[in-house]
Structure 1
Amino acid sequence: MASLTPLFIALQLIKLVYASSNYFMLPLHQISGAYFAKLDIGTPPTEFRVAVDTGSSDLWIHSQNDPACSLNIAGFSNCTFGVFNSSNSSTYTNLNQSFTALYQDTTFANGVYSTDDIGANGLPLGTFQFALVNDSSTPMGILGVSLPQLEASALNKGRHQYNNFPLQLYENGIISYPAYSVYLNGNKGSNVLFGGIDHHKYKGQLVKMPLIKGIQPEIKTLSVELNSLSITVGDSLSISPNSSTFLFQGSIPAIIDTGTTIATLPLSLYKQLALALGLQYDAVYYGYIGSCSSLEEKNIHFSFSGVLLSAPALNFVANLTENTCIYVASPSIVPQLVLGQAFLENVYLVVDLQAKSLAMTQSNLHSDISDIQVLENGILSIPIVSDLASIRNTSSIPTPQHTSTSTTKPSTHLQTLVHKHSVANGAPNIFSIGLAKRDASLSLSLVDEDTFYMADIEIGSGNSKVGVLVDTGSSDLWVVASNNTYCKPNTAGSLSKGRQLLHIKDQFVHKIQHKSTNQIDCSEYGTFDPSKSSSFTSNFTDFSITYDDDTFARGTWGQDTVNIGSIEIRNMNLAVCDDTDNEQGVLGIGLAGLEVTAAGSSSNYEYENLPLKLVNDGIINRAAYSVYLDDSSNSEILFGAIDHSKYQGDLVKLPIVNALYQSGVGKPVQLAVTLNELSYMKNEEKASIGSGAAAALLDTGTTLSYFPDSVVNSLVQLFGMKYSTSLSYYITECSIGNDASLNFNFQGLQLDVPLSSFLINLYTQDNQVSDKCAFGILSSSNENYMTLGQSFLSHVYMVADLQGLEIALAKGNNGNSKNLDLIINEIPSAKQPANQSTYGSKFSTFNVIATPSISTVSSSSTLSSDSATSSSSLSSTASYTVSSSSTTSLSSTTSSSSNTSLSSTTNTSSSASTTSSKSNPSSSFPATSVHRTSVHSTNRTSSQTVNHSSPSQTSLSTSYSSTLSAPPSSSATESSTGSPSPSVSSISSTSHNGGSKLTAHSLAIPKLNQFYIVMGKCLTIVKLIGIGSLGLSSAAFLVSNYKLVPDVLKVSSSSVETLKNKASKLITVLRLQFWSLGSLSTFLFYQAFSHSPSYGKHPYLIYSALAFPIALAYNYYFTFSDEQKLIADAEEKIIYKTETKLVKEAVQQEEENSPLDNSVYNDLGSKSPKFEEKEVSVQVPHVSKVELSETTYKDILKSLSNSYNVTSAILGAGFLLASVGYFGDNLK
């Protein structure tokens, strides 16, 4: 009768109680936007209120030990929904398995899995597994009723699934089938009916639909396929193209979640829905607001595989005032919807956990009676509609567009990566094909649009021509859609060839112009209409970027044919953005790690951007390109080749470093190299600004340059610049750029850039160049990171090898005759740098001299300057006025006797105004620069960012009043009517068609005659020797423990001398190998770490280097004294000692003077002496006994053996760590 346990009897009684019904109704109550149920847990029972959640799968409650609940004793509201004292429950069991849950709103719960008896409605339900939480940030527990695959125990590798609440109800015999229905109607009969369906709680007929994976690798959530989203006015549930506004048609996953109050929508749908509802964005409330009365007759329709469900628009807003509502849905970058209570309060839901399916239909919110049917074989036991056309009127629902299974679907679940320093009114350069495909390279001639480089590309079967910004600081291609909501009417279309370039002087007003105009002229750079391209394929995956200047681009990923000149690139990944306030898209050609799909989440991956696509399609041999930017007409980017005529001096290749390692990024994602020193040069004078190791990002998408705050402050001190609070720029005399330069030292490569390149001219009222300039180097808060934009790159030649993770730099040269070389395996003719030390170590710092001093150097440098000279002085105050009609002027009035006015001219005519607040320029980017960070928010718990550059240009009328002064303090702020935006000089170029035959040059390998070059070239050998040294040292101690020490002990009984010699020899040998091999390993590991490129600076190198010092410290502390004692004691104790003994001795008697004595004459006739016996004390040598010393020696040797075991373990751990790390490196 062992089976008749109390638990068995209790379960049988429970089954008898529910045998007549085989379903279980759990009433729901609503409070503060949450639907909760009441459960009784423990013996004796404690009542708990838990939120019912179809978006999770665990039941958890608060422990009385939860710190969030401790305030409850003092009358606070924390955990007033129930706390559990496990010691008071006789049926409680701790399973000793950890539990952790994280939710979208960043709340969390941590605790342990447990079991106890649970009841509800006054009836027992049996024993259930749940989590007892002792650390949480939410006052109410949760009853998760989703699939077991979503349990916290199942999400971690090696964990398990268990029977959650609905499955345990089935296991306990409470219900006949693991399914339930959900009816949400406020506090008017809301319930979860486990094991049954209430037919009076819905209208129409239930339609079954399978669960889908969504964005997960397997089915884990209650996710179904949504095919369309539309809005109608009136009560009718019928939708048609004539009466409905369609926001989406296609296929996208939608999670059904009672734990979400409203809904979460992809960014593209989020804004479209708000605008379609007639709401407008309000900066005061940071949301979309509108009239509540205008929403009363509007309905939102959701179509699921032909099942049409609707919800009132008022469910998605909340009242601000009596007749003002604010949009309360949430945006998400994840390509899926989460439909919460705002949707479910109008829908009857049935969930089949066993069949992994659900059914939905419109709910009956006026039901007062029940008609419950028990589920015995799942939802199929209920009548369903097989002919979808018979469900209301669905004949007008558009057919969803299906995508090819081979289509690349970039993930957008991202982690914060980087602050992208973008252009101040930047724009791209125009590409034109210069080489045929057989040449294995692609030449792109660049045209500078004042502050950015634009490429003309053609997309789709209709060959739509659009202009895109060419950006080495980002990695994705996106274009403006023809239906962009920000386009001015009748401006969508192909690129306008008659566009007139903006002038540099207009750039100060760019940002204000951009902010003031809600619409842009999309004809300037062209747009793309996917519906007119038969080759376009959309996968309905969201693309979204938001920049620091609040501009953004949102759209959908897809594939289409892209033509660059005569080269056709099929199935190119690109995003089509129908919601952007930028006039042109971006062609990112950076590392794949900076793609919006490649950061952070478990589902991240990299796809083929343009450089990789060119390689995989056989157009070029290697994912590499060279960049030449110049004021002349020769600017170009060469994919797969370099042009030796475009540089002078040596081409030096530098490793790409991980500029973001401090942010936790594991590999390089930006084109950044190591800057070791920055200095100011003028004739024979030099001032060092800073030195050490800093990461320098080389970014064609950035017009100006961004230096750390301390560097900018140092330069400002050196030049005596004054700060304009209204312009948000430092203002100085343009003459400081005459014959002066900034010297950049990249691992020994010296590059001079004229100081005038970092100065921006101001203009007088009559459009004359002023003698006043704005400083074109802006501040960054990161002290070890800087961005070098076009102001720097226009003076150098750059080659980027994305596969080899190297960048080669040289001084630029405007060569007229091409000398092309293919990039096949490495950068041709590039040399190694003189200094192998790179940025990326946690020890890397860039030390800045706060007040630099100018000293005379032996050699002088002749530098060119493009700045205008003037003798006029800068006044202490100035007033700048910007107006806009057909002409925008930037005027200045000084307090001196002669007045100088500054102005600029623009070709735009719209006007508006804006207001911004300016903080300390030394600690933040001036508001005038378009310093952008693209923000990608996730569906659940994290906000994540990736940064790209994307400019735009509009116009505005506003005015400024400014004071030129020293930099304000960090606490100083100013409110201004806007912020201007500077520019650099205009660049023009023409297309070049290369006709030269390409030949590959072999790489010049320098002589390895310096130790540090050996370190840089032979890191593999260095690591292997270091690993071998640790291994040998560890092995030596093991051998001594298990071979040599026993051998010494064996000879101890034969000879003390032998014992002494053996022990002394053993210790000497161990000390010698320990010091030699251990110190060698530490030295080599440190050198390998120091001279690795930044992406190779793995911590295991440092940790392995610490193995010997730690072992040495332990060995010295525990074994050194024993070793000394063993030798010293042997020398002192094994000696000869003496004893005093009494012995008899013959003593000669003294002769007497008497002639007659009793002397004895011998046979020879001589006289013999007379002797007598006498006892005397003598010292007798004696060897001491060794029994005690032998025992001591044995004890000491055994103690040493134990210590050597620990020493060997320490060295062995370092050896193992180094080995695993080394092979891990080489397996990547």
Structure 2
Amino acid sequence: MKNIANFATSSLLVSVASAQVVQWDIQRRGGPAPRLSRRADGSVEEVITNEKTRGGYFATCSVGTPAQDLTLQLDTGSSDIWVPANSASVCESSLEGEGCTLGSYDYASSSTSEVINQEFKISYVDGSYSQGDYISETFGIGNVKLENMTMGLGLDTDIAYGLVGVGYALNEASVSQTRELYNNLPIVMRDEGHIATNAYSLWLNDLDASKGNILFGGIDTDKYMGDLIRVSIQQDSQTENFTSFQVQLTSLEAHSSSGDDALSSSSFPIPVVLDSGTTFSYLPQDLAEEVWREVGAEYTIVANDGSGVPLISCDLADSKGYFSFGFGGDGGPVIKVGMDELVIPSGTLNGQAVCQFGIQNFSGDPFLLGDTFLRSAYVVYDLENNEIGLAPTDFNATTSKIVAFPSQGAQIPSSTPAPSQDAANSGPSSAPNYSASKGFKDLSSSGSSGSGGSGSSGGSDGPDSAGSLAPALDFTQLIVMGASLGLMMFGSGMFLLF
């Protein structure tokens, strides 16, 4: 799960929408204050809450008849709605700050509830889980009621809130349990005419922003800059099915006042999943180490098994340096991610405030680009055409121009395809290995990442190669570190274990 870091809370307010779109707006504040509404033109708006204490984006929805309000985590990386039952032991805690403070569901109090089967079961990499029944129930988004919505009921769970997964149906938990699919939330919204096609766009805005949104069934052309460019979603290599929002990262460059570095990796093109349910971003070991050297991040051991995290001076959040993430080769979308989005306050270590660096290492694909990347991008998830649209975000945009998808299967409005992505996705990146003498090192007080090791950062004054390499993290190590220090937040969808 992703609820292991100590962050400030926030919430969301309503903005504008147009016909056949559903928009969930994000606004930072001290705590949730949901307001729901439906516009006269037939579009639907709903408040969601950016709950940094739990890690993720939350929506206040209604379940059952009469309606019971629950605040559920919205996740592009998973595909089921599930809610905690009020009888679950995790919801019965009387301790302050514990229990299901975001709401729980009373099955017996609803006149529209119906048990489908007892096969709901889902677990996560940190050992948390939820299991119980699949039910059919009324599910409310604003004033729109979706009848007979299939969802999981967590009768036995150690997670104090539920989730709203909006990924591919093939990623539903039921696939591993019963080999059966059902129509999940985006499909039902499409089939009932609330949106024209199974697609939505994501605008998280910057780390300290007051406002952002997730828009189902359309795009907002005032929320990004430049061109919206489409890249293909990659099929699962084993099943050849579309199960996650995996695209190919074909280049990564570092830019600072002292020059530019094109970073290299034996893994290019790199399969990465764009997942709003993951707070940090995770790249291959060799590439992560190059990134750390550029910024002077220091890999610090924080657990007895040798696990660690890259820590960085919190002052570097004010740096003007940035990284450029390229997709689809020449002419493909390029997203610039500034240091202010990558230096993440993460609590205390040995009595001192610490910041984690937002790009971390991982042991195997698929790799993940989470919120530390996604805040800098305007992302359109098109599940009908299996494409992702990307453009640089327009931070703190104050105007809105929503364009709805005109029909089922229509391509992303105002977008063009990456012209050379087929060639770029088929083999190693051909990005030139140009470099400056320092890259980001002028931004570091120490001038050395401390992680050591050899590498091809391009600079002649890199860290001492006699040091020991930072070990690649695996799921077990992530769990240990999260339990030890409370510094980490993880995505839900890509870490499902059935």
The normalised TM-score by structure 2 is 0.76
CA spacing shift, 1:637–1:651, aligned 2, 3 Å: same
Separation of aligned partners in 2, 1:576 and 1:976: 27
Amino acid across the alignment from 2:99:
D
**Which amino acid in 2 is paired with 1:477?**
I
Aligned counterpart, 2:240: 666
**Deviation string, structure 1 residues 1065-1093 (Cα, Å, up to 9, x no partner):** xxxxxxxxxxxxxxxxxxxxxxxxxxxxx
Alignment partner, residue 484 of structure 2: 978
User: 353, 358, 373: which is aligned to 1:776?
Assistant: 358
Deviations 1:441-489 (A, max 9, x none): 1111133111311010110013111111111011111111101122334
Answer yes or no: is 1:786 the counterpart of 2:367: yes
| Cα drift, residue 742 of structure 1 | 1.3
Q: 1:827 aligns with which of 412, 419, 423?
A: 412
* Partner of residue 23, structure 2: 443
Aligned to 1:576: 153
Residues 1:822 and 1:479: Cα distance change in structure 2 (over 3 Å): same
Q: Are residues 611 and 795 of structure 1, via their aligned partners in 2, closer, same or farther at CA, if it must alter by over 3 Å?
A: same
Is the contact between residue 546 and residue 553 of structure 1 (CA under 8 Å) also seen in structure 2? yes
Aligned residues: 429
- For residue 541 of structure 1, report the CA deviation from its aligned partner: 2.7
Of 912, 920, 924 in structure 1, the residue corresponding to residue 473 of structure 2 is: 924
| Offset of residue 581 of structure 1 | 1.1
* Superposed displacement of residue 855, structure 1: 1.8
| Distance in 2 between residues matched to 1:533 and 1:485, nearest whole Å | 20
**TM-aligned CA deviation for residue 440 of structure 1:** 1.1
The answer as to 2:37 corresponding to 1:463 is: no
Q: What residue in structure 2 maps to residue 629 of structure 1? A: 204
CA distance in structure 2 between the aligned counterparts of 1:675 and 1:570, rounded to whole angstroms = 40
Aligned to 1:618: 193
- Whole-Å Cα distance in 1 between the matches of residues 71 and 314 of structure 2? 34
**Structure 1 residues not aligned, in runs of 5+:** 1-420, 492-498, 501-519, 864-868, 877-919, 932-974, 985-1228
1:681, 1:742 within 8 Å by CA — same for their partners in 2? Answer: yes
| Identity across matched positions, percent | 26
Shift of 1:422: 5.4
Q: Which residue is 1:590 aligned to?
A: 167
AA aligned opposite 1:812: T
Q: 1:716 Cα deviation (Å)?
A: 3.1
Please point out which of 183, 186, 203 is paired with 1:608.
183
Residue of 723, 735, 758 corresponding to 2:299: 723
- Alignment check: 8 A CA contact 2:295 2:444 kept: no
Deviation at 1:785, TM superposition (A): 3.1
The Cα of 1:723 is off from its aligned counterpart by: 2.8
**Does residue 757 of the first structure (1) align with residue 341 of the second (2)?**
yes
- Give 3-state SS (helix, strand or coil) of 1:649's partner: coil
Cα shift at 1:848: 11
Q: How does 1:237-636 map to 2 (within 5 A)?
A: 424-425=4-5, 439-446=19-26, 447-450=49-52, 451-489=55-93, 520-522=98-100, 524-598=101-175, 604-630=179-205, 631-636=208-213
Amino acid at match of 1:705: S
Offset of residue 775 of structure 1: 2.3
The residue type paired with residue 109 of structure 2 is: K
Distance in 2 (CA, whole Å) between partners of 1:795 and 1:480 is: 33
Cα distance in 2 for residues equivalent to 1:721 and 1:684 = 17
Shift of residue 977, structure 1, vs aligned partner = 8.5
Task: Give the distance between the partners of 1:473 and 1:440, measured in 2 at CA.
Answer: 23
Distance 2:477 2:231 in 1: 33
In 2, the alpha carbon distance for the partners of 1:426 and 1:762 equals 6
Question: 1:573: how far off?
Answer: 0.9
Structure (1/2) with the larger helix percentage:
1
Which one of the candidate residues 254, 257, 260 is aligned to 1:683?
Answer: 257
Which residue type is aligned with residue 923 of structure 1?
A: A
Report the CA distance between 1:730 and its aligned residue: 2.1
With over 3 angstroms needed to count, the CA separation of the structure-2 counterparts of 1:485 and 1:822, relative to structure 1, is same
Secondary structure at the counterpart of residue 712 of structure 1:
helix
Decide whether the 8 Å contact of 2:138 with 2:148 is kept in 1. yes
Counterparts of residues 841-852 of structure 1 (less than 5 Å): 844-845=427-428
AA aligned to 1:715 is V
The equivalent residue for 1:710 is 286
How far did 1:760 drift? 2.3
**Aligned in 2, Cα 1:720/1:803: closer, same or farther, shift over 3 Å?**
same
Contact 2:278/2:489, CA 8 A, preserved across alignment: no
User: Structure 1 pair 537/846, CA: closer, same or farther in 2 (3 Å)?
Assistant: farther
Give the counterpart letter for 1:574 in structure 2: M
The amino acid across from 1:818 in the alignment is S
SS across alignment from 1:837: helix
SS at match of 1:855: coil
**Which has the larger Rg?**
1
Q: CA deviation at 1:722?
A: 3.1
Q: Assess if the C-alpha contact under 8 Å between 1:429 and 1:469 holds in 2.
A: no
Provide the C-alpha distance between the structure 1 equivalents of 2:345 and 2:13, rounded to a whole number of angstroms.
31
TM-score, with normalisation over the residues of structure 1?
Answer: 0.32
SS at match of 1:739: coil
Secondary structure of 1:681's counterpart equals: strand
Is residue 5–residue 486 contact of structure 2 (8 Å, CA) maintained in 1? Answer: no
CA distance in 2, matches of 1:425, 1:763: 8
Structure number with greater CO (CA < 8 Å, separation at least 6) is 2
Q: Output the CA distance in 1 between the equivalents of 2:387 and 2:363.
A: 26
- 1:168-179 mapped onto 2 (5 Å cutoff): none
Q: Is 2:393 aligned against 1:812?
A: yes
- What is the RMSD of the two structures over their aligned residues, measured on CA atoms? 3.7
Query: How many angstroms does 1:726 deviate by?
Result: 1.9
Instruction: Please report how far the alpha carbon of residue 840 of structure 1 lies from its aligned counterpart in structure 2 after TM superposition.
Output: 6.7
Aligned pair partner of 2:224 in 620, 644, 647: 647
Aligned partners of 2:14 and 2:138: how far apart in 1? 16
Hey, what's the Cα distance between the residues in 2 that align with 1:773 and 1:489?
32
1:626·1:638 contact (CA, 8 Å) conserved in 2?
yes
Q: 1:546 to 1:802 in 2, by over 3 A?
A: same
How many Å apart are 1:570 and its aligned residue?
Answer: 1.0
The separation in 1 between residues aligned to 2:143 and 2:156, in whole angstroms, is 30
1:846 Cα offset (Å) = 6.5
* 2:487 partner amino acid: S
Q: What's the secondary structure of 1:470's corresponding residue?
A: strand
The AA in structure 2 aligned to 1:448 is: N
| Residues 786-1185 of structure 1 mapped to structure 2, 5 A cutoff | 786-813=367-394, 814-824=396-406, 825-837=410-422, 844-845=427-428, 854-855=435-436, 922-925=471-474, 929=478, 978-982=484-488
Distance 2:222 2:6 in 1: 28
Question: Take 1:596 and 1:635, find their aligned partners in 2: how far apart are those partners?
Answer: 29
User: Does structure 2 conserve the Cα–Cα contact (< 8 Å) formed by 1:759 and 1:776?
Assistant: yes
> Which whole-Å CA distance do the structure 1 matches of 2:20 and 2:85 have between them?
32
Give the 3-state SS of the residue equivalent to 2:227 in structure 1: strand
Answer whether contact 2:169 2:184 (CA < 8 A) is retained. Answer: yes
Q: Do the aligned partners of residues 485 and 761 (structure 1) sit closer, same or farther apart at CA in structure 2, a change above 3 Å counting?
A: closer
Report the Cα distance in structure 1 between the residues aligned to 2:368 and 2:449, rounded to whole angstroms: 32
Which amino acid is 1:695 matched to? P
Q: Deviations over 1:1080-1112 (max 9, x none)?
A: xxxxxxxxxxxxxxxxxxxxxxxxxxxxxxxxx
In the TM superposition, what whole-angstrom CA distance separates every residue of 1:922-960 from its partner, at most 9, and x where no partner exists? Answer: 2223767469xxxxxxxxxxxxxxxxxxxxxxxxxxxxx
- Show CA shifts across 1:885-944 (max 9, x none): xxxxxxxxxxxxxxxxxxxxxxxxxxxxxxxxxxx962223767469xxxxxxxxxxxxx
Q: Does the CA-based 8 Å contact 1:423-1:701 persist in structure 2?
A: no
Corresponding residue SS for 1:598: helix
Provide the secondary structure at the position in 2 that maps to 1:467: strand
Mapped partners of 1:708, 1:538: distance in 2: 43
Letter in 2 for 1:532: S
